[in-house]
Structure 1
Amino acid sequence: MADFKLANANAKEVWSTKYATEYVALSGLLPFMSSASNAIFRVNTDLANNGDLVHIPYFASLKGAGVSGGATLEGNEEALLNYSTGIKVRHRRNAVMLAEHESFRTELDVANIAKGGLKDWSAEDLRNELIEKMQNVVIAGGVDSDGTPVEDTYKTFAASTATERTNYMLANADRIIMGTAKPTTAVFSTSLAAVAAGAILTADTVSLAKEMAETTTNFRITPYMTKDGQKWYVMFVGVEGFRQLRKDPRIEAANRDARPREVETNPLFNGGDLVWDGVIVKKIPEIKQVGDLGAAGAPIGFAALCGANTLGIAFARKPTFRTEKKDYDHKIGVGITEVRGSSKMSAAGTQTGMVSIYYAA
């Protein structure tokens, strides 16, 4: 009886699929990524090597009164407002070079040797990309001549103009916190300059952000739902903000008195996630400050309380390894190439899945 042998092409496919899963998990964001319409990071794989632009739809919730009793429904239907976010994908690549004495017989052996470093790079690249997109300023797309919504566009915080930041703040006034409260002026730079050095993250800030998410009027921010049906919001925050929250007296008391006093599970000891008022607080050290833009030049940090439809991620081609030989085959290069893209999700200039928090860092 002949033994089963996996074809080389299939072996590469299995390797690529495993690599993709591992590097996404390593980024720390895998628990919040899925193709479900209520995922924090909505994943789309529709392109499958065809084209470079995918559109992720977003349907606004119905708000009409409906009819009761014997009232006629025909003619009183409610329009289902729908929008979409366009995500343009592009190649992301990197490679390493190995000497002949460090490699073995097959391409897979060589690829596995290089896998660790390339996987770390892929995870960091994805995480940094998503952090940048969370901080992006939304530029409203408006409507076309038929009244159909035009997709929004986006700029990085650093590249956006003062006017674009102000327009973004006005369109998202119910989902932006400046210091410890909603924006107090109609100008972004003025509101940010009013953030005092003492306006740090506290338990009250977390609760306010959750309250804002729950009470948004248009494009409601729905919570993230776990597999067992529990609803949570997730706040991603940098090291300064995480330190401030960990030292908040009420959060510290909750960890001390209401959670197991075990080194393995209690964040007082292991620095793990904080939990407060239905919000999971995750530290992402790579979230950087936005600049010394607060009162008297106070440094300003950024945090994002996220629910469903925060970001969209499109994978058009899974990671694929390639090898190249040089120096009379003494050196073997191993490269990773994939095609992906991401974007903040929004509708009519309004971010649909997150509350942005600018605090004193």
Structure 2
Amino acid sequence: MIALATDVFSAKISNFTSVQKNIPGCALHYQANHSEVFCSDDWEESKIDKPFVISECGSPAYLAGYEERYYEFGNEKGFQGYFEIDKWKASRINGDGGVDVTGAPIGLQAEGAGNLLVRSRPTDRLQLEIVIPAEGYLSFNWKKSGGSIFVSLILNGEKKQIVSKRDESGSFFSELLHEGDIFILEIESQGEFEQDLVLEELEFLTNALGVLERNWKAFNLEGANIRFSQFITIIRANLIDVVFPPNVKNIEKYDPDRTGYPLLDTDGLFFTTTDRIPIEKGACQFEVSWKDELVTQEEKPVILRHWVVDDLKTGSVIKETQKISLFSDKDLPPSLSKQAKEVNNSMNSILDVHGVGY
């Protein structure tokens, strides 16, 4: 008989590294979902599927809560953030076939600028394992002292050599990786002396804004307990998904609440509109600003609203001008109305500057 954890939901399944106290015949096992949320979505727990935990002996299994940490993906390189050295599971496979599993075994040393020095003994095999938190690519440079070190990549159980013993330095760029993939670097020494391998400029290239890691605890009444991680990927918005407000004719009030703000098309499909959200209410590291320019066309005042949306994550900018035709100039702010009669169709600039950042 297998007892299930209380209060669990069905989920898309991914397996993650766990640390547990094992009770013979009554071990705990788990399955954890890997979720994705858009950067403007509500991250309420009720919207994230909970892990699924079982007790193989029939004893009731319980989730005891979690600790949460957010890792933001940026342009920095090195073994830091989500990919810091302590996040990698390290296993030393000794020459006699024995396995030594530790958090950071002797032979792993942090170097300047987030680099990693791997020192291997003769006939050793060292495995460095991490779970990929989001869709993307992993790259790094490497160099070694001595010509008898092999490096292989084991991805979801499939192994291939990426560094041969004759190579002294080089670079690695992965295939497209997916959230939940098990990424293992296996470093094997075949020399007679200790040898060094330096991994440097590690970089994770992804469209995700970041990842939320929940480190869960679970237990059963027989005394078994387990820790494991669940990942929630925060999907970054793209400037190509920005939809600017259309031109407006013959109105009296021209504030953006009436004429429209730029919107984010969250599903990327421009023929659907129910998924669009105002950027000023988002949380996607976008900054919105605009400048109002007054001109006259056919003897009527016209506001040219110059919108600017900045992606603070990438430094990219997108711009668009919205044309707002007014009935009259009586409701113009002082910065514009006092010069309205001096404006002509040459589009001299009379500007009113606004901005809002989120």
TM-score range, shorter chain: under 0.3
Q: What's the TM-score once normalised by structure 2's chain length?
A: 0.27
**Counting strand residues as a fraction of each chain, which structure ranks higher?**
2
**Counting helix residues as a fraction of each chain, which structure ranks higher?**
1
- Which of the two has higher C-alpha Rg? 2
Q: What's the TM-score once normalised by structure 1's chain length?
A: 0.27
Quick one: higher RCO (CA 8 Å, sep 6+), 1 or 2? 1
